[in-house]
Amino acid sequence: MVEIRNVSKQYGSKNVVENVSLRIAKGKITSFIGPNGAGKSTLLSMISRLLTKDQGEILLEGTEIGQCKSSDLAKKISILKQTNHITVRLTIRELVSFGRFPYSQGNLTKEDWKHVDEAIRYMELGDIQHKYLDQLSGGQRQRAYIAMVVAQNTEYILLDEPLNNLDMKHSVQIMKVLRRLVDEMGKTVVIVIHDINFASVYSDYIVALKDGKVVREGTTNEIISAQTLKDVYDMDIQIEDIDENKICVYYA
Amino acid sequence: MKAKIIGLTIVAIVLIAIFMMIDAGGNWDYVLPRRLKKILAIVLTGSVIAFSTLVFQTITNNRILTPSIIGLDSLYMFIQTLVIFALGSTSLTLINKNVNFLISVVLMILFAGLLYKWLFKREGQNIYFLLLIGLIFGTLFNSLSTFLQLLIDPNEFLRVQDKMFASFNNVNTDLLIISFVLIIAVGIYFWKYIKYLDVMSLGRDQAINLGVNYDFVVKRFLIIIAILVSISTALVGPITFLGLLVVNVAHQFMKTYQHKHLIVGSALISIIALVGGLLIVERVFTFSTTLSVIVNFIGGAYFIYLLLKENKSW
């Protein structure tokens, strides 16, 4: 379990994240939703130690993450940011093999390559595994990065807007993979996501943030309600039940 | 990959052999030790510069930077100018070469150390900020040197000018041995960080995700770069011009992300460039031009060729 206690972060004098306390349940998908500038990505970056927090504590299985060795954390928690600009030219397979660095420090063993093969198969990248990243479409590239995270084989997987710039088909594909990671492999997935319908259909818990504070958190059913969404987004959103899924209609 | 490295090694050895043998005129006892000294200096500084530039480009994630941006070259020139300005050009012959070398090395490392210390005191400083500050200091030292050069006697200015170009002609044997030992010692100490280079080429976020203690490792690398560049610059003069070219050619030629291959490859290319360049300077132009001109001209042309070829294949 990840426990966040009174965490704050300032940029200059602006509070980006203000006194946030949260518990992230194990073995579930938790989505962070909220308008732009709500502090979702900042919070996620602090959980994954990419950013330092100004105040508060973040406990991973009861231990403050600042106290853990970075190389040990890399075996427990992984993060994928929304933009991944890499200057070196890599094939998918080479990229995925980087996911084993925390275990092998660069000298991959047979065991490591088994994990790499598995991750590639899991993400259905077998046919194109020797292609270079710059030859791929956005959806393929995103799958390649997720394959790297799968190879890293951490219990907690954090993703910052994994559906950014993807079309509907690829978005659904990615979300289904995340669902499978949780259901079949028992991972804990935390995502920052803008499309509230994807959040509604695929996540177990939702945390709604606004202006650096948690407005509401709870199960998907509790959060996806017209009143809560109005509090978060300042707009009237109609909610329809379609095949047991709650779909938000906000286009008009 | 192996074939490429073996190929480069053979070219390097052949060039070195030619350099050693050509026009010896039978005076082996006189010629060989002198040439051997040059070759050692070349192998040493060439590899060091290739290595520092490669590491520097990896940690900054930028293929067009060289360590000269933190201002070490300019500082070296400033120290040399200052010595001549304050003590006159005769001092250079009076002051022991070893003393000059030691002063230069110590001052450059001290400068880099202060720069880093001051910058890393505040947590979360980004590496580009360091480069910016280094660039400004570099410009400051440059301007100071130019100013002093305007004031000194034209004859003394000629002595300064000599120092502006890398030269392998007057390398002191004692210094060569000292540098060699220093560089090997530094290399052994930092060897364990080499494995992080591949991961760091993925950028800061991925490196941290994969468990690299990023800020700490970057600091270590910046220190090793400062020490290595200082030693090689004090030994033969400003020579970082070579790095940019050599490392980019190595990337294009080796086509790999693995630094264990890139380090060897770029060091070999660097040696080839220097020995080949020196051969042309000494035998074709009979010292009427400088090494940096030759290396930059041929290397630049080759680099453009690589880029054009790459363009077509895509």
B110-140 tens-digit pLDDT: 888 888 777 666 655 677 787 888 889 889 9
Which CA distances in Å does A21 have to A12, A213, A215, A224? 22, 9, 11, 21
Q: Is residue B223 part of a domain?
A: yes
Position B278 confidence tier, pLDDT thresholds 50, 70, 90? confident
Position B288 confidence tier, pLDDT thresholds 50, 70, 90? confident
Q: Is residue B94 part of a domain?
A: yes
pLDDT at residue B266 in the model? 94
Residue B271, burial from CB neighbour count under 10 angstroms (0-12, 13-18, 19+): buried
pLDDT at A162 over 70: yes
Q: Does B202 touch chain A (CB under 8 A)?
A: yes
Position B22 confidence tier, pLDDT thresholds 50, 70, 90? confident
Domain that holds residue B111: 2-19+35-313
Q: Is residue B202 part of a domain?
A: yes
pLDDT by residue (tens digit) across A120-145? 998 888 899 899 988 888 888 888 99
| Domains of chain A by start residue, with CATH | 1-76+155-252 (3.40.50.300), 83-153 (no CATH)
Query: Among partner residues A49, A86, A102, which is closest to B203 by beta-carbon distance?
Result: A86
CA closest to A82 among chain B residues: B205
pLDDT at B238 over 80: no
Q: Is residue B25 part of a domain?
A: no
Q: Is residue B111 part of a domain?
A: yes
Q: Is residue B150 part of a domain?
A: yes
pLDDT at residue B140 in the model? 93
Query: Among partner residues A52, A72, A101, which is closest to B210 by beta-carbon distance?
Result: A101
Q: For the domain that residue B132 is a member of, what is the CATH number?
A: 1.10.3470.10
Average pLDDT over residues B212-219: 86
Q: Is residue B306 part of a domain?
A: yes
CA closest to B64 among chain A residues: A87
Average pLDDT over residues A5-21: 89
pTM of the model: 0.86
Position B314 confidence tier, pLDDT thresholds 50, 70, 90? very low
- Find the range with the poorest average confidence among A245-249, B160-164, B257-261: B160-164
- Find the range with the poorest average confidence among A29-43, A84-98, B92-106: B92-106
pLDDT at A202 over 90: yes
Mutate one of B192, B210, B263 to test the A interface: name it (highest A CB count within 10 A).
Answer: B210
Query: Among partner residues B63, B203, B211, which is closest to A70 by beta-carbon distance?
Result: B211
Average pLDDT over residues B210-223: 86
Average pLDDT over residues B258-281: 90
Average pLDDT over residues B219-224: 85
CA closest to B216 among chain A residues: A70
Question: Looking at the 3D structure of chain B, how many domains does it have?
Answer: 1
Highest mean pLDDT among A48-57, B58-67, B109-118: A48-57
Mutate one of A79, A101, A149 to test the B interface: name it (highest B CB count within 10 A).
Answer: A101
Query: Among partner residues B124, B206, B210, which is closest to A52 by beta-carbon distance?
Result: B124
Q: Do A50 and B208 touch (CB under 8 A)?
A: yes
Q: Is residue B216 part of a domain?
A: yes
Mutate one of B59, B198, B202, B209 to test the A interface: name it (highest A CB count within 10 A).
Answer: B209
What is the SS3 string spanning chain B? CHHHHHHHHHHHHHHHHHHHHCCCCCCHHHHHHHHHHHHHHHHHHHHHHHHHHHHHHHHHCCCCCCHHHHCHHHHHHHHHHHHHHHHCCHHHHHCCHHHHHHHHHHHHHHHHHHHHHHHHCCCCCCHHHHHHHHHHHHHHHHHHHHHHHHHCCHHHHHHHHHHHCCCCCCCCHHHHHHHHHHHHHHHHHHHHHCCHHHHHCCCHHHHHHCCCCHHHHHHHHHHHHHHHHHHHHHHHCCCCHHHHHHHHHHHHHHCCCCHHHHHHHHHHHHHHHHHHHHHHHHHHCCCCCCHHHHHHHHHHHHHHHHHHHHHHHC
Average pLDDT over residues A17-32: 92
